[in-house]
Amino acid sequence: MRRGNVKNIISNLVTVETDYPVAQNEICFIRTNQSDLMGGVIKVAGNHAFVQVYESTRGMKAGDEVSFQGHMLEATLGPGLLSKKFDGLQNDLNKMKSVFLKRGEYTNALEHESEWEFLPLAETGQSVQAGDWLGVVPEKNISHKIMAPFKLKGIFIVKSIVSKGIYKITDSVAVLQDSRGAEHTVSMIQKWPIIIPIKIHEEKPRPFQLLHTGIRLIDTMNPMAEGGTGFIPGPFGSGKTVLQHAIAKQAQADIILFAACGERANEIVEIFTEFSKLEDPNTGGLLMDKTIIIANTSNMPVAAREASVYTAMTMAEYYRAMGLKVLLLADSTSRWAQALREMSNRLEELPGTDAFPMDLSAIISNFYARAGFVKLRNEEHGSITFLGTVSPAGGNLKEPVTEATKKVARCYYALSQQRADSKRYPAIDPVDSYSKYLEYLELQRTLGKQLGNSWVDTVIEAKDILLKGKEAYEQINILGDDSVPLEYHEKYWKSELIDFVILQQDAFDAIDSYTSLERQRYMLCAVMDVCHIEFDFQLFDEIAPYFKKIIDKLKQMNYSEFQSNEFNQYLEALGKLINQKKAKEYGPSI
């Protein structure tokens, strides 16, 4: 084992002097006060290695012994990850011995003594490559694939594989032979460096189908594609975390990965307690059964924030290689960027805007690029949909992290403080936000099959009405109610109709909290039918009360079971109300 000694200490940046070659990103342990503190090499200069320590360095002194491990920080992958709660270094938090994390305490990510039923998929004599499925283990509601180790290079022959039975995850389940005759034993566990993407897929096509979340403002107005990327910037208190929680509860995904990167601990405790009780609407089991939480909150080691997002992404790639749909949520990538800035400043690197690293855009871009929809060698498909949040200081959406993320993420869900203050939730700004997936012909064709060929045109028209309504509102505010034409009031209230009925959603109502695609299509068409009507108003002060009655009827439809008697009664009452101001009788063209 290669060793070195501490030369200099600046907070959690430690300079180590060594006479042996040291690799970038290599893991080491520093012996301090009878504790071994983990760190990672972030820079090498001659015989000096600059180490980022993942713990508090209090009590560390020059001369302390450092042992280098010869490998990078790795994620442990295998059966038993689901329902677990890890820290940024993949220590199992349930195994920690005290309420507060102890320095130098590390735990196994998996239960080495646990037993699983293994069913072989490969046969003796079969040719396999890295990532090919050797067997399957039932775990919770998924079929957990045991794969040929990702580190293998080339073609291997299955020399032997165990029969169906119960095995520990450390037991040998297969023996692979390479072209030179060397044998490689395979267990259910494998490790992979978190900083390196797992690339065992055949191809990576553009996303082509919708990831249904049940949230109208996302699915209807700014759809997220399965295997897509997006982010939620917004000021403090505007609902970033709550929105992520709602998406995690309802999205049609096989696996949910939640990476808490520097957010407040009470928000993560809410996930711990709430998710363990909630039912998964897609499987009927508990939501926690398909969830993994990587918790590195604001009071945990700052240096591990970077590790937490990479650990989560590596786990997501592992499940994607099984042909599963993975939803990865990170809250918040701003804290990760701040940790990068902190280390960059201590290394005395040339600073970029707001003292962030010069290569911040490249780091964020490379990370987001690891998400996506992939086609595996066995013709199966898997996907990682990544949605992060950004917490810009002072709500400034022009700051570097937001701008860098905006360049790479295809969906932009900008939270508005004004909407949050007026209790219009979710507080996504409908004018500033966008989804570039609406431009994808592949997704347009899929949406056309699901929702009708004119769906995208209808959504674009609704956005146009919202924009015109915003402009009309500004004119009314400047000139006064009675100084603008009646059509300005009508434009404004038609935009309010879309806002109240389509954009706003009650996350605490059993019916309105989740909206099926069929219902989203029905309600948007009903609202757009009203927007197409030319009403007969004589005075501006009769417009607002009239539209408020229409909004009330449509909102009551949102709170009623779809196409129930109550729902149809409100629809009938809506038709009568509209016919009061329109000569031709109203009937929704749905």
The CA-CA-CA angle for residues 256, 257, 261, to 5°, reads 145
**DSSP structural state of residue 439:** G
Asked whether residue 442 falls in the same domain as residue 482, the answer is no
**Among the listed residues 311, 302, 246, 300, the one whose alpha carbon sits nearest the alpha carbon of residue 278:** 246
Q: Which of 428, 447, 466 is the last residue of a domain?
A: 447
Instruction: List the structure tokens of 270.
Output: 């809410």
Residue type, 355: A
Q: Residue 557 falls within a domain, yes or no?
A: yes
Q: Residue 186 falls within a domain, yes or no?
A: yes
> Can you give the residue range of the structural domain that contains 493?
454-579
Q: Does residue 75 sit in helix, strand or coil? A: strand
User: Would the pLDDT of 76 be above 90?
Assistant: yes
Q: Residue 161 falls within a domain, yes or no?
A: yes
Question: What's the structural domain count of the chain?
Answer: 4
Instruction: List the structure tokens of 220.
Output: 């209807």
Specify the DSSP element, H or E, that contains 583.
none
Check residue 228 and give its pLDDT: 97
Say if CB 208 and CB 373 are below 8 A apart. yes
Q: What is the pLDDT of residues 237-255, one digit of tens each?
A: 888 888 988 899 899 999 9
Q: Looking at residues 556-579, what average pLDDT do you find?
A: 95
Q: Residue 101 falls within a domain, yes or no?
A: no
Euclidean distance between CA atoms 527 and 532, whole angstroms? 9
Say if CB 374 and CB 383 are below 8 A apart. yes
Asked whether residue 482 falls in the same domain as residue 544, the answer is yes
CATH of the domain at 37: 2.40.10.170
Asked whether residue 326 falls in the same domain as residue 459, the answer is no
Check residue 242 and give its pLDDT: 85
Specify the DSSP element, H or E, that contains 104.
none
Asked whether residue 258 falls in the same domain as residue 399, the answer is yes
Q: Residue 96 falls within a domain, yes or no?
A: no
Euclidean distance between CA atoms 245 and 213, whole angstroms? 11
Point out the least confidently predicted range of 152-166, 287-301, 466-480, 566-580: 287-301
Which residue has tokens 């700052």? Answer: 302
Asked whether residue 433 falls in the same domain as residue 460, the answer is no
User: Would the pLDDT of 301 be above 80?
Assistant: no
CATH of the domain at 158: 2.40.50.100
Residues written for the chain: 590
Euclidean distance between CA atoms 79 and 168, whole angstroms? 10
Asked whether residue 172 falls in the same domain as residue 225, the answer is no
Q: Looking at residues 317-322, what average pLDDT do you find?
A: 97
Q: Residue 532 falls within a domain, yes or no?
A: yes
Check residue 585 and give its pLDDT: 52
Asked whether residue 368 falls in the same domain as residue 393, the answer is yes
Residue 577 has phi, psi (to 5 degrees) of: -65, -45
Asked whether residue 346 falls in the same domain as residue 383, the answer is yes
Residue type, 67: S
Asked whether residue 443 falls in the same domain as residue 546, the answer is no
CATH of the domain at 302: 3.40.50.300
Q: Residue 196 falls within a domain, yes or no?
A: no
Residue type, 434: Y
Asked whether residue 382 falls in the same domain as residue 470, the answer is no
Asked whether residue 53 falls in the same domain as residue 127, the answer is no
Say if CB 4 and CB 68 are below 8 A apart. yes
Euclidean distance between CA atoms 259 and 247, whole angstroms? 14
Q: What is the mean pLDDT of the chain?
A: 92
Check residue 499 and give its pLDDT: 97
Q: Looking at residues 34-56, what average pLDDT do you find?
A: 93
Check residue 584 and give its pLDDT: 53
Q: What is the pLDDT of residues 342-396, one digit of tens each?
A: 999 999 999 999 999 999 999 999 999 999 999 999 989 999 999 999 988 888 8
Q: Residue 504 falls within a domain, yes or no?
A: yes
Asked whether residue 307 falls in the same domain as residue 438, the answer is yes
Confidence band for 187, pLDDT divided at 50, 70 and 90: very high
CATH of the domain at 458: 1.10.1140.10
